[in-house]
């Protein structure tokens, strides 16, 4: 690597997205740091990147037109999109027995819109700017496999991301565009902070025999590998990063 590729990372203002942006920039890539509403945090991420040629792009990913304009803006600034990392996502509770029907519908609509449909839209747009041999990496979740009883739309959206990656791996293989996914467990991020506090946090950490959850940099390392030239034949794969907290066959 270190070839100065053009990379777009969605949801890069903090957490896994910020760590991924930093890791790819450290290897010489030029990064478009996308954010939705957290402009100050995104600017902080941008300022922390090694090298130069990086840009900041903004869009509400629930808006398909804004998503397309954002991807086009990133491509214009970077001279294309060699790598797309679909990282942006939301995680909110909607227990089926505790929500009203209206709350239930809103939670499903919001979660699928941002976590799944936006990733599909960003991929469609990015592929128009992507050369043969490009990379698309989706940040999914172990919840795609183990289930998320309190956040079922989240689990469904992440399972959808994985199915989408596998479908597009077949669709784009003739162009040597690799489409993959990582499936982390809980990660020490702002989004997971509430779930990792107190007794509930202790329980989450005890799910892994290592007695902790992942660091954003550990998930970023998996993304970096899947985005690398060496991972071309790994297209369609799902890389678990959950400290053996959930094992699947």
Kindly report the average pLDDT of the chain as a whole number. Answer: 95
Instruction: Choose, from 35, 101, 154, 246, the residue flagged as catalytic.
Output: 154
* Residue 3: per-residue pLDDT: 54
* Residue 197: per-residue pLDDT: 78
Other C-beta atoms lying within 10 Å of the C-beta of residue 68: 16
Q: For 247, phi and psi rounded to 5 degrees?
A: -115, 135
* Residue 249: per-residue pLDDT: 83
Higher pLDDT, 205 or 118: 118
Mean pLDDT for the stretch of residues 173-201? 87
CA–CA gap between residue 48 and residue 58 (Å, rounded): 18
Q: pLDDT tens-digit profile of 28-39?
A: 999 999 999 999
Q: Whole-model pTM?
A: 0.95
For the chain, percent of residues with pLDDT exceeding 90? 88
CA–CA gap between residue 73 and residue 77 (Å, rounded): 6
CA–CA gap between residue 67 and residue 153 (Å, rounded): 21
Alpha helices for the chain (secondary structure H):
15-26, 39-47, 64-78, 101-112, 118-127, 143-146, 152-172, 198-206, 216-227
Structure tokens at 100: 């009203």
Domain topology for 6-241: Rossmann fold (3.40.50)
* Residue 2: per-residue pLDDT: 39
Q: pLDDT tens-digit profile of 52-101?
A: 999 999 999 999 999 999 999 999 999 999 999 999 999 999 999 999 99
Could you confirm whether 35 is annotated as catalytic?
no
Mean pLDDT for the stretch of residues 165-188? 96
Domain regions of the chain by residue span: 6-241
């Amino acid at each position: 690597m270190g070839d100065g590729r053009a990379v777009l990372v969605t949801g890069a203002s903090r957490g896994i997205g910020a760590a991924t942006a930093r890791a790819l920039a450290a290897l010489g890539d030029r990064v478009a740091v996308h954010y939705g509403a957290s402009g100050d945090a995104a600017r902080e991420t941008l300022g922390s990147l090694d090298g130069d040629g990086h840009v900041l792009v903004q869009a509400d990913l629930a808006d398909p037109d804004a998503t397309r304009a954002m991807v086009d803006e990133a491509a214009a600034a970077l001279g294309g999109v060699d790598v797309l990392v679909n990282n942006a996502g939301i995680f909110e509770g909607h227990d089926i027995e505790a929500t009203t029907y209206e709350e239930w519908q809103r939670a499903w609509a919001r979660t699928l819109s941002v976590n799944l449909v936006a990733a599909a839209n960003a991929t469609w747009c990015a592929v128009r700017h992507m050369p043969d041999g490009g990379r698309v990496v989706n940040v999914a979740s172990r919840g795609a496999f183990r289930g998320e009883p309190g956040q079922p739309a989240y689990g469904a959206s992440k399972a959808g991301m994985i199915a989408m990656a596998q479908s597009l791996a077949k669709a784009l293989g003739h162009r040597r565009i690799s489409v993959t996914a990582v499936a982390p467990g809980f990660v020490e991020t702002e989004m997971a902070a509430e779930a990792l506090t107190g007794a509930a946090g202790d329980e989450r950490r005890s799910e892994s025999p290592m007695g902790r959850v992942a660091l954003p940099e550990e998930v970023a390392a998996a993304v970096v590998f899947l985005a690398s030239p060496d991972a071309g034949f790994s297209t369609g794969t799902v890389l678990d990063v959950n400290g053996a907290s959930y094992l699947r066959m």
